[in-house]
Amino acid sequence: VTSIIWFRRDLRLSDNPALTAAVAAGGPVVPLFILEDATKGDNTCRDYDSGTGTACDWWLHHSLNALEGALSAQGMSLVLRRGDPEQILRQVVEETQAAAIFWNRRYEPGGIEHDRKIKQDLRLQGLTVESFNGSLLAEPWSVKTKADGPFKVFTPFWNALQRNRGQVPVQAAPRIPQHPAVRCFSERLDDWRLLPRNPDWANGFSDVWQPGEAGALDQLVTFLEKSLCHYKEGRDRPDREQVSRLSPHLRWGEISPNQIWQATLMASEKTGKSDGLRAAAWAFLRELGWRDFSYHLLYHWPSLPARNWRPEFDKFSWNQDSRAFQAWSKGNTGYPIVDAGMRQLWVSGWMHNRVRMITASFLIKDLLIDWRQGAAWFAQTLVDADIANNSASWQWVAGSGADASPFFRVFNPITQGAKFDPDGSYVRTWVPELSALPKQWIHKPWEAPAAALEEANVQLGKNYPHPIVDHATARQRALATFEAIRGDQ
């Protein structure tokens, strides 16, 4: 019997349970990817025809290209179709006479409902349909409190996840049996127009990223060899390259968290390795745990991307300030660490976690702009834009989420800069106007004496903006606004 493997957010051949099952079924295998209608799932990208797209669209284009390459090395071709998956699956079943369909699960709210319906309909037609966990350490429903409910706090969730998980062996990429008789029409990737044009704002991405499974595995090996040992103390330093940068690869499932988990443990447990390395490995794995926690929250509270998890925040009076939003999104706030982060995001499609927290806090608390506006900007510009991580993290910073940082914790962009970018080299990289400024002024150029500014060729208000708000005043305003909603309770 012919089987279809429906690739979604699992664009890889190794450790792919759905693919392994399709191959184990024994007959011809048809690899299929569907670019879905925007309303149906999260495999969707917006604005295809205008060519403006998102950073994720750019990634998807290159990732599909890489998957096509890996399949063709085995003599297979990837079938690409665009539209409603229900209809397309029916057509492909008809064209190939497939009797079974396999996929790895997804967890975004619309996607779960949609998959359930598709599964039911296809089974009614007599097809075998099986789904698997291909993208999380544990299924969101399998990690439970003693009272059999979902977790709202990370640490007990993380402890329960580790207890539950057990050993999950990594599956090698299977040899897919070739059956030239099974032919199926495919659209052309280039016709999907996923890449930005006029202007091509992603033209710097290829210097930084290698989308696809091979790129993901390279990235993992390099990280484990060079940076894991520094991860625990280095992960908060945007001026150092000590984080894994695996997030966009995880976003499209070019690597599984299980592969990362097993490889990290192996790297840290090799004989002769120190306790320090083991501690670094667990600090890193804990971050993967946060990813699972975001999915746990999204699964149990599907309104997470759209609504405050703590309803008292519904009364918060946000500013409608398009000028301030524009300054923030383009990296022109006059606060160097904020501007460096927002420009790193625009130019490379990624931002260091510490700076994501600083920039998000600045938007929400210094500018009092709704976290959903910030999350929407990140969703368009991040190559790792992920509905669960993005929503949970923005709500964490806002203080409106589960196990969130309290609203009254307002990041100070000057002291954060001085602590986590002490020499200012991160700022110098992304805000070249300030590159000649001595380090004592790099995070607060408005306090620099006129002679220092002149020597560094910094002209505040001309080639670098004055701060758009005074942080101390903005902090007081944020706290007062927060007190007002607390007082209302």
Question: In this complex, which beta carbon is closest to ligand FAD, that of residue 42 or of residue 433?
Answer: 42
**Which residues have C-beta within 8 Å of that of residue 190, sequence separation ≥ 6?**
none
**6 in helix, strand or coil?**
strand
The secondary structure element, H or E, covering residue 104 is strand 98-104
Question: In this complex, which beta carbon is closest to ligand FAD, that of residue 291 or of residue 471?
Answer: 291
Place of tokens 């990817």: 33
Catalytic residue among 86, 95, 353, 446: 353
**Which residues have C-beta within 8 Å of that of residue 14, sequence separation ≥ 6?**
170, 171, 172, 173, 213, 259
In the annotation, is 287 catalytic? yes
Q: Which amino acid is at 336?
A: P
Nearest approach in angstroms of CB 477 to ligand FAD is 21
The secondary structure element, H or E, covering residue 280 is helix 275-300
In the annotation, is 394 catalytic? yes
Q: Measuring CA to CA, how many Å separate 192 from each of 65, 89, 184, 233? A: 12, 19, 18, 43
Lookup: tokens for 89: 């699956």
Question: In this complex, which beta carbon is closest to ligand FAD, that of residue 42 or of residue 68?
Answer: 42
- The pattern of x and - marking residues 302 through 341 that bind ligand FAD according to CB under 6 A reads ----------------------------------------
Catalytic residue among 318, 319, 332, 446: 318
Question: In this complex, which beta carbon is closest to ligand FAD, that of residue 131 or of residue 244?
Answer: 244
- The alpha carbon of 442 is separated from its chain's Cα centroid by a whole number of angstroms, namely 30
Question: In this complex, which beta carbon is closest to ligand FAD, that of residue 386 or of residue 433?
Answer: 386
Nearest approach in angstroms of CB 486 to ligand FAD is 23
Q: Is 284 annotated as a binding residue?
A: yes
User: Quick check: 247 binds ligand FAD (CB under 6 A)?
Assistant: yes
In the annotation, is 141 catalytic? no
Q: Is 384 annotated as a binding residue?
A: yes
Nearest approach in angstroms of CB 249 to ligand FAD is 8
Q: For residues 391 and 378, give the distance between their C-alpha atoms in angstroms, rounded to a whole number.
A: 10
Q: Is 385 annotated as a binding residue?
A: yes
Catalytic residue among 59, 158, 328, 394: 394
- The pattern of x and - marking residues 345 through 364 that bind ligand FAD according to CB under 6 A reads --------x--xx--x----
Q: For residues 402 and 396, give the distance between their C-alpha atoms in angstroms, rounded to a whole number.
A: 7
**130 in helix, strand or coil?**
strand
Q: For residues 415 and 13, give the distance between their C-alpha atoms in angstroms, rounded to a whole number.
A: 45
In the annotation, is 390 catalytic? no
- The pattern of x and - marking residues 364 through 393 that bind ligand FAD according to CB under 6 A reads --------------x---x-xxx--xx--x
Q: Within positions 263 to 292, which residues make up the interface with ligand FAD, using CB under 6 A? A: 287-288, 290-291
Given a contact cutoff of 8 angstroms between Cβ atoms, the answer to whether 55 and 68 are in contact is no
Question: In this complex, which beta carbon is closest to ligand FAD, that of residue 158 or of residue 290?
Answer: 290
Lookup: tokens for 371: 């976290």
Lookup: tokens for 80: 């690409």
Q: Is 42 exposed, middle or buried (0-12, 13-18, 19+ CB in 10 A)?
A: buried
- Known binding positions: 231, 284, 384-386
Catalytic residues: 287, 290, 318, 353, 371, 394
- Known binding positions for FAD: 231, 284, 384-386
- Interface with ligand FAD by CB under 6 A: which residues? 235, 243-247, 250-251, 287-288, 290-291, 294, 353, 356-357, 360, 378, 382, 384-386, 389-390, 393-394, 397
